[in-house]
Amino acid sequence: MISDNFIFRQFVLRDRHYSDVRRGNNCHFVGFMRKGWARLVGEDVMVSVREGELFYIPMGWRYESFWSGTPDICFDSYGFVPFPHPTDASCPVQVVPMNEKIRDALETLAVHRTVDCHSIARFYLLLEAMLPVMRTTHTGAKERAVEQAISYMQSHNRIKVPELARICRMSESGLYAAFREARGCTPIEMWHRVQAERAVNLLVSTDLSVEEIVERLEFCSASYFRKILREVTGKTPREIRSVVRM
């Protein structure tokens, strides 16, 4: 459950980098730009992040990111699913104002990025310091249903759409409509993204073989695993493992 819900990394890139996340990310992200700058461009908003700034990207946001450095780009990335905000509110993408409490919590967390109980506790101390200064927006019933469905996906290895609809107290057609409106995809497409995100996490953070990952995540076959990974990320397992990381 810990590996499915948290991804803590530091990225070091050269010169320029582009990421296409127009299908939407499968978890929330808190990032800290140590070197370089970034531009996050969504359908209706653009956020620029400069060196020394803290930023937040909400789960499901569809965007493109453009990164640049002279010559290096370095940023801390903390991906997480459980977000302790009120059920009728959410936080949009934003640069988060820094204060002494946030800076201390951030640097304490940076010392130990391995995902375990210790680092998760430190992360939520950081989030506790951030929330009072973050902007929030109210969410509707459809958005809450979609978030509930995604949360269920992230805690199970197999799903059925009728069961998801029952959990969200919606009809199947209503659930499909809610996903299209809130995420621009179907529940099955989101399920593939969740599976791919789990697979990427295991590929970059463990030495498990493809066959072992297939078995752990309960894919029906290695060929189906590679097919879903290619559809969502555009990469093979080997290409994903070749990404520069620390």
User: Model confidence over 167-224: pLDDT tens digits?
Assistant: 888 899 999 999 988 888 899 999 998 888 888 888 887 889 999 999 999 999 999 9
- Give strand ranges (E) for the chain: 6-21, 28-35, 37-42, 46-49, 54-57, 63-80, 89-90, 94-96, 137-138
- For residue 52 the two structure tokens come to 């020394």
Mean pLDDT of 31-60: 93
Backbone phi and psi for residue 37, each to the nearest 5 degrees, phi listed first: -150, 165
Per-residue pLDDT for 1 more than 60? Answer: no
* Alpha carbon distances (Å) from 178 to 37, 116, 183: 35, 34, 8
CATH number of 141-241: 1.10.10.60
Residues above pLDDT 70, as percent of the chain: 94
Fold of domain 2-138: Jelly Rolls (2.60.120)
Domain locations in the chain as residue ranges: 2-138, 141-241
Helix (H) or strand (E) holding 70: strand 63-80
DSSP string, 190-204: HHHHHHHHHHHHHHH
**Closest C-alpha to 164, from 154, 175, 155:** 175
Lowest mean pLDDT: which of 14-18, 208-212, 227-231? 14-18
- Tokens 């080997």 sit on residue: 238
230: left (phi over 0), alpha (psi -120 to 50) or beta: alpha
pTM to 2 decimals?
Answer: 0.67
| pLDDT (mean) for 21-45 | 90
Which residues, listed in sequence order, are joined to residue 68 by a DSSP beta bridge?
A: 16, 37
Q: What is the pLDDT of residue 183?
A: 83
Selection from 75, 37, 80 nearest residue 57 by Cα: 80
Q: Which of 18-22, 58-62, 126-130 has the highest mean pLDDT?
A: 126-130
**Residue range 28-54: average pLDDT?**
94
- Give strand pairing partners of 47: 40
Predicted confidence band of residue 47 (pLDDT cuts 50, 70, 90): very high
Q: CB–CB of 28/81 below 8 Å? A: yes
pLDDT in tens, 126-157: 999 999 999 988 767 788 888 889 888 888 88
Spell out the residues 6+ positions from residue 107 whose beta carbon is closer than 8 angstroms to its own. none
Listed residue (139, 144, 149, 233) closest to 190, CA to CA: 149
* CA 5 – CA 82 distance, rounded (Å): 7
pLDDT of residue 246: 38
